[in-house]
Structure 1
Amino acid sequence: MSGILALLNLDRAPIDSALLQKLTDTLAFRGPDAQSCWSEGAIGLAHTLLQTVSDTTGANQPLSLDGQLWISADVRLDRRAELIDRLEQTGSRLKLDPFTPDAALILYAYHTWGQDCLAHLWGDFSFTLWDSRQQVLFCARDQLGIKPFYYAQVGQTLICTNTLQSLRGHPLVSDQLNERAIADFLIFTINYDPATTSFADIQRLPPAHCLTLSLADPTVKVHRYWSLPCPEPIRYRCDQDYIYQLKTLLKLAVGDRLRTERVSLLLSGGMDSSSLAATATQGFPSTNLKAFTTVYDRLIPDQERYYASQVAQFLSLPIEFLIADDFKLYQDWSSHAPPQPHHNPRSIVSHQLYQLASHHSHVALYGEGGDEGFTVAFLLDLLHGMPWSPHLFTDLWRCWRYRARPGLGFQYYRNRYQNRLSLSSPTQQSPPFPAWLRSDLIQRLDLVDRWHQIHTIPKPEVYPFRPRAYNRLTFPLWGSVLENINPGFTGLPLEIRLPFLDLRLVEFLLALPPWPWCIHKKLLRLGMQDMLPPIITQRPKTALVADPIPLMQPALNLTEVISTASGLDRYVDLNELQTHLDDRNQSSARTWQTLRPVSLGLWFLDNFS
Structure 2
Amino acid sequence: MCGIVGIFDMQGGRTIDRDLLHRMNESQFHRGPVEGDLHLEPGLAFGHRRLSIIALEAGLQPLFNEDDSIALVFNGEIYNFRELRTELQGLGHTFRTPSDSETIVHAWEQWGEDCVTHLRGMFAFAIWDRPRRTLFLARDRIGIKPMHYAVLPDGMFAFGSELKSLLSLPNLKREIDPLAVEEYFAYGYVPEPRTIFTSAHKLLPGHTLTLRVGQPLPKSKQFWDVPFKPHLGMTDRDIEGELVVRLREAVESHLIADVPLGAFLSGGVDSSAIVAMMAGIGSEPVNTCSIAFNDPAFDESDYARQVAERYRTNHQCETVDKDDYGLLDTLAALYDEPYADSSAIPTYRVCQLARKRVTVALSGDGGDENFAGYRRHRMAMGEERVRSMLPLAVRKPVFGLLGKAYPKADWAPRVFRAKTTFEALARDLTEGYFHGVSINNDRVRSQLFSESFRQRLQGYRAVEVMRGYAAQSPTDDPLSLIQYLDMKTYLPGDILTKVDRASMAHALEVRVPLLDHQFVEWVSGLPSTSKLRNGEGKHIFKKALQPYLSDDILYRKKQGFSIPLAAWLRGPLLESMRRAVLNPALLDTGIFNAGYLKQMVDEHQARTKDHSTALWSVLMFDAFLRKNGAAAAA
**TM-score, normalising length from structure 1?**
0.84
Provide, for residues 168-225 of structure 1, a one-character-per-residue CA deviation record: whole Å limited to 9, x for no partner.
Answer: 1122213222222123212332224x22211222121111111111114253442222
Q: 2:455 matched to which residue of 1? A: 443
Partner of 2:36: 35
> 1:349–1:119: structure 2 CA closer, same or farther, 3 Å change rule?
closer
The runs of at least 4 consecutive aligned structure 1 residues that moved more than 4 Å come to: 376-385, 410-415, 419-423, 426-431, 451-458, 544-547, 585-589
Partner of 1:189: 188
Secondary structure of the corresponding residue to residue 119 of structure 1: helix
Identical aligned residues as a percent: 23
* Pairing 1:332–2:327 present: yes
Q: Distance in 2 between matches of 1:175 and 1:464?
A: 40
CA apart distance, 1:68: 0.8
Deviation track 1:82-124 (CA, whole Å, cap 9, x = no partner) reads 43354345xx334769x83221111111100111212212211
Equivalent residue number for residue 149 of structure 2: 151
Partner of 1:172: 171
Offset of residue 586 of structure 1 = 5.7
Amino acid at match of 1:450: R
Aligned counterpart, 2:297 = 301
Alignment-mate amino acid for residue 349 of structure 1: P
Residue 608, structure 1, aligned to residue 625, structure 2: no
Change (3 A) 1:321 1:63: same
Deviation at 1:506, TM superposition (A): 0.7
Residue in 2 that maps onto 1:418:
426
Is the Cα–Cα contact under 8 Å of residues 143 and 204 in structure 2 kept in the other structure?
A: yes
Which letter maps to 1:174? K
Q: In structure 2, what is the Cα distance between the partners aligned to 1:545 and 1:482?
A: 15
Against the structure 1 CA distance between its residues 156 and 498, is the aligned structure 2 distance closer, same or farther, given a 3 Å change threshold? same
Q: Deviations over 1:3-36 (max 9, x none)?
A: 1111122341123223222322222221111111
What's 1:522 paired with?
A: 539
The Cα offsets for residues 473-514 of structure 1, whole Å up to 9 and x where unpaired, read as 233553232122213886221222211111111111111133
Q: Specify which of 307, 310, 317 is matched with residue 314 of structure 1.
A: 310
How far did 1:384 drift?
Answer: 8.2
Distance 1:19 1:467, change over 3 A: closer
SS at 2:552 equivalent: helix
How do residues 69-108 of structure 1 correspond to structure 2 at under 5 angstroms? 69-88=70-89, 92-94=91-93, 100-108=98-106
Structure 1 residues 18 and 325: alpha-carbon distance in aligned structure 2, compared to 1, 3 A threshold:
closer
Q: Which amino acid aligns with 2:623?
A: L
Q: CA deviation at 1:374?
A: 0.9
Structure 1 position 600, deviation (Å): 0.7
In the other structure, the counterpart of 1:540 is 556
Is the 1:234–1:513 Cα contact (8 Å) retained in structure 2? no
| Letter of the structure 2 residue corresponding to residue 467 of structure 1 | L
The 5-angstrom pairing of residues 346-361 of structure 1 reads 347-361=344-358
| Structure 1 residue 297 displacement after superposition | 3.8
Q: 1:437 to 1:517 in 2, by over 3 A?
A: closer
The answer to whether structure 1 residue 551 and structure 2 residue 567 are counterparts is yes
8 Å contact kept, 1:431–1:589: no
Give 2:521's aligned residue.
507
What is the CA-CA distance between 1:57 and the residue it aligns to?
5.8
Corresponding residue SS for 1:360: coil
Provide the C-alpha distance between the structure 1 equivalents of 2:240 and 2:466, rounded to a whole number of angstroms.
Answer: 37
Partner SS, residue 197 of structure 2: coil
Q: Could you say what secondary structure the match of 1:583 adopts?
A: helix
1:116 corresponds to 2:114: yes
Please give the secondary structure, in 2, of the residue aligned with 1:210: strand
Q: 1:342 touches 1:599 (CA, 8 Å); kept in 2?
A: yes
On the 8 A contact 1:32/1:48 being kept in 2, the answer is yes
| Mapping for residues 114-263 of structure 1, pairs under 5 Å | 114-154=112-152, 155-192=154-191, 194-236=192-234, 239-260=236-257, 261-263=259-261
What stretches of structure 1 of length at least 5 have no aligned partner? 386-409
Deviates more, 1:337-346 or 1:461-470: 461-470
**TM-fit CA distance, 1:382:** 9.0
In the alignment of these two chains, the number of paired residues is 572
Partner SS for 1:235: coil
- Distance (Å, rounded) in 2 between the aligned partners of 1:31 and 1:419: 47
Deviates more, 1:103-112 or 1:248-257: 248-257
Does 1:433 find its partner at 2:444?
yes
Tell whether 2:273 aligns with 1:279. Answer: no
Report the Cα distance in structure 2 between the residues aligned to 1:49 and 1:76, rounded to whole angstroms.
Answer: 12
1:522 Cα deviation after fit:
3.3
Counterpart of 1:527, as a letter, is A
Query: What is the distance in 1 between the residues matched to 2:553 and 2:287?
Result: 19
Say if 2:347 and 2:499, in contact at 8 Å, map to a contact too. Answer: no
SS in structure 1 opposite 2:307?
Answer: helix
Higher mean C-alpha displacement, 504-513 vs 514-523: 514-523
Partner Cα separation in structure 1 for residue 62 and residue 502 of structure 2: 19
After the TM superposition, which of the residue ranges 128-137 and 569-578 deviates more from structure 2?
A: 569-578
Q: SS of the residue aligned with 2:71?
A: strand
Does the 8 Å CA contact 1:565/1:604 hold for their aligned counterparts? no
Contact 2:566–2:610 at 8 Å: present in 1 too?
no
Secondary structure of the residue aligned to 2:626 is helix
What is the CA-CA distance between 1:278 and the residue it aligns to?
A: 0.8
Residue 323 of structure 1 aligns with which residue?
319
8 Å CA contact 1:561–1:601 kept in 2: the answer is: yes
Offset of 1:347 from its aligned partner? Answer: 3.8
Partner Cα separation in structure 1 for residue 467 and residue 13 of structure 2: 49
CA spacing shift, 1:411–1:142, aligned 2, 3 Å: farther
Name the CA distance, whole Å, in 1 between partners of 2:21 and 2:220: 24
